[in-house]
Amino acid sequence: MGTVEYIQHHLTNNSIGEGFWTLNIDTIVVSLILGALIVFVSARLGRQLSTGEPGGFQNFVESILDFVATNVRDAFPGHNPIIAPLALTIFIWVWLMNFMDMIPVDLFPYLFQLITGDSHAFLKIVPTTDLNTTLAMALTVFVLIIFYSIKIKGVWGFTKMFLFHPFGKFFIPVNIVMTFIEEISKPLSLALRLFGNMFAGELVFLLIALIGGTLAVGAAALFWAPLQIILDLGWLIFHLLVITLQAFIFMVLTIVYLGMAHDESH
Amino acid sequence: MSESNKTKPDAERTKPPGAAANYLLISAGSIFTSMLIAGFIVGYMLDQLFDTTPLFFLSCAVLGFIGGIQKVHQLTKRLDPPLKEKESEDDQKS
């Protein structure tokens, strides 16, 4: 397998169906497993909560809760009990999906090929390197933005936003188009930022994996293999910051956009 | 969900989102890019609707570009309040 084929193979989803109804099975299964993991761990921890001397894991979860609650207080001007749980879910779920990038790129595809017996079986285990995942999450947030905009501002208030913003009452047709563009840009920027960062990160991991793989033959491996280890470790540490930052940005922008939907002056 | 921003007093409700806007600054670049892309998308949809390719496609892209610059300007101008204070002090002196 050549270099290009190797990269293309790793960046192709295992999918069924055709056209619009193509379902990326690996993305769906991995994201569902991670979602179920959150539910399972939360339920288990919920049963074992202690107020006296909390254990290490409870302390860890409480610190994440504190962190998210502080961000919601800072960035959300109104009061809505659904925002903090939503932000927490988004942060942890996106972080876990991003964390799949830390697993060696060849491990799961190789195991999957062994299990299925098909040496060309596709498997992409990082759901956030699939635009469908990030766009689906962003669209869910977008639906909430529209829902709360109409709920808080009323139908007329929401329509007024389209008619008189940003150029005033003399440019109503331009205002309508402009506000449409503005609203559509919200989910787009959410989805594309996360997808772009994770896709690029995965690609760099693949390129580093190629150093010790197809490029190293014979004695040259003695030089290339340690180089691969050093580069992989460096990128892994850096990428650990990137995945956390991207999960944080997705969460915080969700709060900010929903905060703007709750703010009648916007 | 029953309580909303409506229950807050006017002064508190209309205050500018301080920390929230700072967080938006993180993504000023992608907001600009996505405004441009959204312009292309809206333009493409309008062109499909009215069969006017590429009239709306291009004009909405220009609108998206202008909107993107406007948004980034709105976000970044908050970064420079000391200069405005200084200017107003200079005005008062003169």
A80 to chain B: which residues are within 8 Å by CB? 1, 3-4
Q: What is the mean pLDDT of residues A20-29?
A: 93
Cross-chain CB nearest to B37 (options A82, A188, A255): A188
The two three-digit tokens of residue A81, written as one number:
């009990």
In chain A, domain spans: 3-262
Residue B94: CB partners within 8 Å, gap ≥ 6?
Answer: none
The 10 Å Cβ neighbour count of residue B2 is 7
**Residue A166: which of B24, B46, B70 has the nearest Cβ?**
B70
> Cβ A77–B1 below 8 Å, yes or no?
no
Integer Cα distance of A117 and A111 in angstroms:
10
- Residue owning tokens 């609108």: B63
Helix count and strand count (H, E) for chain A: 8, 2
Residue B21 lies in a domain: no
DSSP for A59-123, written as a single string? HHHHHHHHHHHHHHHHH--S--TTHHHHHHHHHHHHHHHHHGGGS-TTHHHHHHHHHH--TT---
Q: In degrees rounded to 5, what are phi and psi of residue B6?
A: -60, -30
Q: What is the dihedral of CA A172, A178, A182, A183, to 10 degrees?
A: 50
Report the pLDDT value the prediction gives residue A215, as an integer from 0 to 100.
Answer: 57
Is residue B19 domain-resident?
A: no
Q: Percent of chain A, pLDDT > 90?
A: 61
Which range has the top average pLDDT, A17-31, A168-182, A219-233?
A17-31
Domain membership flag for residue B52: yes
Chain A contact probe: residue of B1, B8, B30 with most A CBs at under 10 A: B30
Quote ipTM for the complex: 0.78
Distances (CA, A) of A159 to A12, A144, A164, A174, A176: 42, 17, 9, 14, 9
Q: Which of A136, A51, A38, A47 lies closest to A92 in space, CA to CA?
A: A38
- A79 CA to chain B: closest CA distance, Å? 5
Indicate whether B15 pLDDT > 50.
no
Is B67 within 8 Å of A178 when comparing Cβ atoms? yes
Residue B16 belongs to a domain: no
Beta-carbon contacts of B1 under 8 Å, excluding residues fewer than 6 positions away, are A80, A81, A82
Query: How many domains does one find in chain B?
Result: 1
Name the token pair of A48: 């074992």
Q: Is B85 domain-assigned?
A: no
Contacts of B21 in chain A (CB under 8 A): 256
- Contact across the interface for B23 and A189, Cβ inside 8 Å: no
Question: In the predicted model, is pLDDT for residue B84 greater than 70?
Answer: no
pLDDT category, B1, cuts 50, 70, 90? Answer: very low
Confidence of residue B19 (pLDDT cuts 50, 70, 90): low
Q: Is residue B50 part of a domain?
A: yes
Containing structural domain, residue B65: 37-80
Decide if A75 and B5 are in contact by the 8 Å CB cutoff. Answer: no
At CA B27, angle to CA B59 and CA A246, rounded to 5?
A: 130
Kindly state the average pLDDT of the residues A221-242. Answer: 89
In chain B, whose CA is at the least distance from the CA of A147? Answer: B1
pLDDT tens track for A159-209: 988 888 778 888 888 899 999 999 999 999 999 999 999 999 999 999 998
Q: Which two tokens stand for residue A177?
A: 């188009």
End-to-end CA, chain A: 55
